[in-house]
Amino acid sequence: MNRIVRNFINDAILTGKKAVVVGTGKSGLAAARLLDVLGADVRVADRDEAVTEEKLGALAGKVELVTGPHDKAHFADADIIVFSPGVPVKKLAPVLEGIPPQNMVSELEFASWFIEAPVLAVTGSNGKTTTTTLISAILEHAGRRVFTGGNIGVPLCEYLLDMDPAEIIVLEVSSFQLQNCRLFKPHVGLFLNFSANHLDYHEDMDEYLDAKLMLFARMTGEDTALLHESLHPLLDGRSFTNAHVEWFGPTDRFEAPHLPGEHNRSNVEAAWQAVKRFGVTEEQAAEAIRDFTSLPHRIEPVTEKRGVLYVNDSKATTLDAALAAVRSFDRPVRILMGGVWKGGDVAQFARDVRDRVVHVGLYGGSREVLEPELKRHFPVTWDETLELAVKRQAAMASPGDVVLLSPATSSFDQYTGMAQRGADFKRVAGGLDD
């Protein structure tokens, strides 16, 4: 158990305090567990009336569970409220009225109070997971003890309770997590890119950007903010950090055979600029980058049938991510798109990919958003399911084509998440005739 957590327990700092955790995802439950260990009187609130005590696991019977529409009574007696990532806090304003803002924090913020090791945090609209994982791979190759988590893998609260102390904490952080942070401060903060995303959650692009910039708000001159060169128009002249600021972009510094595309050349350079702050040599970085393989569902080659390559990029939930995937290929691309719309400029996307895309296969949701503009530039078909769309493209494809699942949407119209969507694509592609 973390030393500062033990001090909180020994000094009874939260003993008997009323804590409310909003959301029963893994981050919320990890926060509830930490609060329980710290001696707080914990209530877990979830809008989903189907959530039962069974969902609480080891916390069942130890904490109070309330479900259904949030009510003022759920929060009125709270000394601290911890929000799970993705909880729409602004929509809760009526039931949170009168509660001091300093009493409301995200799980990331709450966990950060107990951290001693330096933090390297990665944010951006696209490429966060690949870059975060690459950074950890380089640091581990160089012999550092690393914890990797946050928006991927293990929640930070769980690390504090169950894992050996790390020398460096590497976190992927989302706008959802950052929006309710005030004191969280990484030693190195990395901002990869910014494009329309999560506009089903944020009011507008300004709110989305403000949330991202919370990563840098508490940094000092001893810390480093690494920013992609594409962010100059947004950030030049804007006061958002006291950190030392450096800019990066794509380079050919390293050989990265498993990370294709210009966007990954930027991600690789970003990773290097981050890890060198922790004593990693360029030779150590080069070795780790050369051996690093791309993660599942991220421009992942699945199979080649009759000269047609099938590629799973289910993680591409924005138009910018889909654009990066298309630009990774020097072959004609048949792109599969569809799902729950999150925002973006479809007309600009169409102009940017018209030299490589030969057909757009839509499926599922967002047809009404995507089809009107895309059909101005490409042949467009629509199928009810991804399976039907894959089979249609397979029937039409010529040797040398790429059938690319890069949906530019979230998956929740037909799947539980992007991983299930990618697995379904792999199943269908793998079952096609040779």
The tens digit of pLDDT for each residue in 204-242 reads: 778 889 889 999 999 999 999 999 999 999 999 899 999
Say what the pLDDT of residue 3 is. 82
Q: Give the pLDDT band of residue 320 (cuts 50, 70, 90).
A: confident
pLDDT of 27 higher than 60: yes
pTM of the model: 0.75
Q: Give the pLDDT band of residue 281 (cuts 50, 70, 90).
A: very high
β pairing state of 168-172 and 300-305? unpaired
* 299 touches 368 (CB < 8 A): no
Say what the pLDDT of residue 8 is. 84
Report the residue count for the chain: 434
Say what the pLDDT of residue 196 is. 56
CA distance 210 to 206: 6
Q: Give the pLDDT band of residue 340 (cuts 50, 70, 90).
A: very high
CA distance 291 to 403: 26
pLDDT of 364 higher than 90: yes
Q: What is the mean pLDDT of residues 173-196?
A: 88
Mean confidence (pLDDT) of the chain: 92
CA distance 406 to 421: 11
Q: What is the mean pLDDT of residues 385-404?
A: 96
Say what the pLDDT of residue 197 is. 53
Say what the pLDDT of residue 307 is. 87
pLDDT of 149 higher than 70: yes
Q: What is the mean pLDDT of residues 278-287?
A: 98
Here the tokens at position 429 are: 């592609």
Residue 181 φ/ψ, nearest 5 degrees? -105, 145
Q: What is the mean pLDDT of residues 89-94?
A: 84
Compute the half-sphere exposure of residue 41: CA atoms within 13 Å on the CB side of its CA.
8
Does the CA dihedral 238-241-242-246 come out positive or negative? Answer: negative
Portion of the chain with pLDDT greater than 70, in percent? 98
CA distance 402 to 335: 8
Tens digit of each residue's pLDDT (9 = 90 or more) over 95-148: 999 999 889 999 999 999 999 999 999 999 878 888 999 999 999 999 999 999
Q: What is the mean pLDDT of residues 180-196?
A: 89
Dihedral in degrees, nearest 10, Cα atoms 40, 46, 51, 52: 30
Radius of gyration (C-alpha) of the chain in whole angstroms: 23
CA distances from 274 to 101, 109, 112, 150, 218 (A): 33, 22, 20, 17, 18
* 151 touches 128 (CB < 8 A): yes
Packed helices 367-374 and 346-353: angle between N→C axes, nearest 10 degrees:
50
Q: What is the mean pLDDT of residues 147-167?
A: 89
β pairing state of 104-106 and 80-83? parallel
pLDDT of 201 higher than 70: no
Q: Give the pLDDT band of residue 260 (cuts 50, 70, 90).
A: confident
Query: Which residue, 106, 122, 121, 118, is CA-closest to 165?
Result: 118
Say what the pLDDT of residue 181 is. 86
Q: Provide the edge-to-edge strand list for the sheet that holds 104-106.
A: 64-67, 41-46, 18-22, 80-83, 104-106
SS3 (DSSP) at 337 = strand
* Residue 223 buriedness (CB in 10 A; 0-12 / 13-18 / 19+): buried
* 159 touches 30 (CB < 8 A): no
Here the tokens at position 416 are: 């539980």
Residue 224 φ/ψ, nearest 5 degrees? -125, 130
pLDDT of 381 higher than 90: yes
Q: Fill in the DSSP letter of residue 415.
A: S
pLDDT of 200 higher than 70: no
